[in-house]
């Protein structure tokens, strides 16, 4: 099925640098593929380090005017961008589903949830406040002022092609920073459409730039090592995050990293099982399991394990795999062959080590990168699926026997992004909530992401927080200003 956008100008096939739509200097391009059908949706510029330097220079040039603009005016421009994103949310969702695979309703939710960050930071732009400190001596005044950090690089992943961009770009813009975006190679079209709407909103040339490339390393390396880029915000794999952090160290760049997770989902014996099943099914299979806060391993108390499994498998039976553009589909394809092979390898390892596939366990009949919604029983903590981020529609379930064991296993990982637990015991709610070494912990719910909460992780899951009243600080420098001799 081809695209049928209401506004065909939202399908952009050039990069966006200094307010202009631009090809790569080498004129190279790469194809963007619909993972559900294999159709080529578009070809976009395959840019290199020289193109990236141009984008950084455009951002640097735009910075003085952007930072000098009144907060109120910046806020109005962001608000206009928000209005345009929401007005065009159907088209943006259609593009997103086509390049990424998630069902249309989920894509629309992402676009609107992503727009909410723009609205939030349009408001926060007006609330960047400093402090007046108690001075050290007479004739002296001491202040803390907050200033924009400078040119920001945003490197984003394919699993949320729209909201990962708005979540980084809107606080940067609100703070007074220009941005160079490098979207994931699988999903550049959402990024380019957002740039088109930023252009229409009147955001000045050079304040938002998008550099497309078929491989992250060259453009990403230029962004991470450039002395002009003062801040790097990355969402993606832990391996690439570590590499970028080391590359950024040469210029002692500020970094925000949102990396992999290994989310535990604990079901205690006193849990509301229906609520736990509903939450586990939603947070395991959303985006076909391809989110960093997706449930990675379920741990269920032995006294309720059988009852939980019965309800959970019944819920999984309701999932409907297919092309996300079709009505009624709940579970789209995986993003690409690499993703599929990883999932397949983890399931084979588990089955070979004694786990049982009580649902699914193999590629889906639909072919391509579709995989069956899978539930693995009798999983143990030594299996690779327990310690590695699966990023697919596979739910490994482990049977635990004590709260101490469940918390110890939950924390026994280098990751620390999101964790979930279900219990009705108020004492346990507090104990477990405080003991879990995770940046985001949800008790008796799996719905917690919104623009007003601080998103981010402990340990190797990342550095910094996105969204909320804290998120703008990532794009601000704190300056101590001491005035003497008054
Ligand atoms: P995933 O494994 O989920 O695709 P990646 O971390 O590889 O996650 O990708 C996230 C983003 O990082 C994408 O925009 C990708 O192009 C970019 N990227 C990949 N490799 C590098 C690299 N060596 N340097 C900079 N960016 C990279």
pLDDT tens-place string over residues 80-120? 999 999 999 999 999 999 999 999 999 999 999 999 999 99
Give pLDDT tens digits for 209-230.
Answer: 999 999 999 999 999 999 999 9
- Among positive and negative, which fits the CA dihedral 264, 270, 275, 278? positive
What CA–CA distances, in Å, run from 112 to 92, 174, 393, 448? Answer: 10, 19, 24, 16
Q: Is the ipTM of this complex over 0.85?
A: yes
Q: Which CATH superfamily is domain 264-443 in?
A: Aldehyde Dehydrogenase; Chain A, domain 2 (3.40.309.10)
Distances from the Cα of 383 to the Cαs of 93, 373, 389, 398, in angstroms? Answer: 37, 19, 12, 11
Q: Do domains 8-259+461-481 and 264-443 have the same CATH topology?
A: no
Contact 349, 385 (CB under 8 A): yes
Distance 401 CA to ligand 1 centre (A): 39
Percentage above 70 pLDDT, the chain? 100
How far from chain centre, in Å, is Cα 193?
Answer: 18
CA distance 290 to 13: 26
Q: Where are the domains of the chain?
A: 8-259+461-481, 264-443
The model's pLDDT over 386-431, given as tens digits with 9 standing for 90+, comes to: 999 999 999 999 999 999 999 999 999 999 999 999 999 999 999 9
| pLDDT at res. 2 | 76
Q: Which of 135, 25, 82, 63 is nearest to 481 (CA)?
A: 135
Query: Ligand 1 centroid vs 256 CA: distance in angstroms?
Result: 15
Q: Give the closest residue (by CA) to ligand 1 atom 22.
A: 217
426/315 Cα distance (integer angstroms): 28
CATH topology for the 8-259+461-481 domain: Aldehyde Dehydrogenase; Chain A, domain 1 (3.40.605)
Q: Do residues 441 and 431 make contact, with C-beta atoms less than 8 angstroms apart?
A: no
Question: From the CA of 114, how far away is ligand 1's center (Å)?
Answer: 21
* CB-ligand 1 contact for 155 (6 Å cutoff): yes
By annotation, the residues acting in catalysis are: 258
Cβ distance 146 to 139 under 8 Å?
no
- Say yes or no: CB of residue 216 within 6 Å of ligand 1: yes
CB of 236 closer than 6 angstroms to any ligand 1 atom: yes
**Ligand 1 contacts CB of residue 245 (under 6 A):** no
Q: Give the pLDDT confidence score for residue 374 in this predicted structure.
A: 98
What pLDDT does 1 receive? 52
For residue 163, is pLDDT > 70?
A: yes
Mean pLDDT of 54-58: 98
Q: At what angle do helices 89-100 and 71-87 cross, to 10 degrees?
A: 70
pLDDT band for position 47 (50/70/90)?
Answer: very high
Report pLDDT for 296. 98
Do residues 209 and 21 touch, judged by C-beta distance below 8 A? no
Q: Calculate how far, in angstroms, residue 278's C-alpha sits from the geometric centre of ligand 1.
A: 32
- What is the band of 286 on the pLDDT scale with cuts at 50, 70, 90? very high
């Amino acid at each position: 099925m081809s695209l049928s956008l209401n506004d065909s100008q939202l399908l952009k096939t050039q990069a966006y640098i200094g307010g202009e739509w631009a090809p790569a200097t080498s004129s190279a391009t790469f194809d963007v593929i619909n993972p559900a059908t294999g159709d080529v949706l578009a070809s976009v510029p395959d840019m290199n380090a020289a193109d990236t330097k141009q984008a950084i220079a455009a951002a640097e040039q735009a910075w003085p005017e952007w930072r000098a603009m009144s907060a109120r005016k910046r806020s109005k421009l962001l608000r206009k961008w928000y209005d345009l994103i929401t007005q065009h949310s159907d088209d943006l969702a259609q593009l997103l589903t086509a390049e990424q695979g998630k069902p249309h309703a989920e894509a629309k939710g992402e676009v609107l949830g992503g727009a909410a960050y723009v609205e939030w930071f349009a408001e926060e732009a007006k609330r960047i406040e400093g402090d007046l400190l108690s001075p050290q001596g007479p004739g002296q005044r001491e202040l803390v002022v907050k200033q924009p950090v400078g040119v920001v690089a945003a490197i984003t992943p394919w699993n949320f092609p729209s909201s990962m961009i708005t979540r980084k770009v809107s606080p940067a813009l609100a703070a007074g920073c220009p941005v160079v975006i490098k979207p994931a190679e699988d999903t550049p079209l959402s990024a380019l459409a957002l740039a088109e709407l930023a252009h229409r909103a009147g955001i000045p040339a050079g304040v938002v730039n998008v550099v497309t490339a078929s491989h992250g390393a060259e453009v990403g390396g230029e962004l991470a090592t450039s002395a002009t880029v003062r801040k790097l915000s990355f969402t993606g794999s832990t391996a690439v995050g570590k590499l970028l952090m080391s590359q950024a160290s040469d210029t002692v760049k500020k970094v925000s990293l949102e990396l992999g997770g290994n989310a535990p989902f604990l079901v205690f014996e006193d849990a509301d099982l229906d609520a736990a099943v509903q939450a586990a099914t939603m947070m395991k299979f959303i985006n076909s399991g391809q989110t960093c806060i997706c449930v990675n391993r379920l741990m269920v108390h032995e006294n309720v394990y059988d009852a939980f499994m019965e309800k959970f498998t019944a819920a999984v039976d309701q999932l409907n795999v297919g092309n996300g553009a079709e009505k009624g589909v709940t579970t789209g394809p995986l993003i690409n062959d690499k993703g599929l092979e990883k999932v397949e390898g983890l399931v084979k390892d588990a089955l070979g080590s004694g786990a049982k596939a009580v649902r699914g366990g193999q590629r889906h009949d639909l072919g391509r990168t579709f995989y069956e919604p899978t539930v693995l029983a009798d999983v143990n903590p030594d299996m690779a699926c327990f310690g590695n981020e699966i990023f697919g529609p596979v739910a490994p379930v482990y049977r635990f026997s004590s709260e101490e064991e469940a918390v110890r296993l939950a924390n026994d990982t280098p990751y620390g992004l999101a964790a979930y637990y279900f219990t009705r015991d108020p004492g346990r709610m507090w104990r477990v909530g405080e003991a879990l070494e995770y940046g985001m912990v949800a008790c008796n719910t799996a719905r917690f992401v919104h623009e007003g909460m601080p998103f981010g992780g402990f340990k190797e899951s990342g550095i910094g927080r996105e969204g909320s009243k804290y998120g703008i600080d990532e794009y601000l420098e704190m300056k101590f200003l001491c005035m003497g001799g008054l």
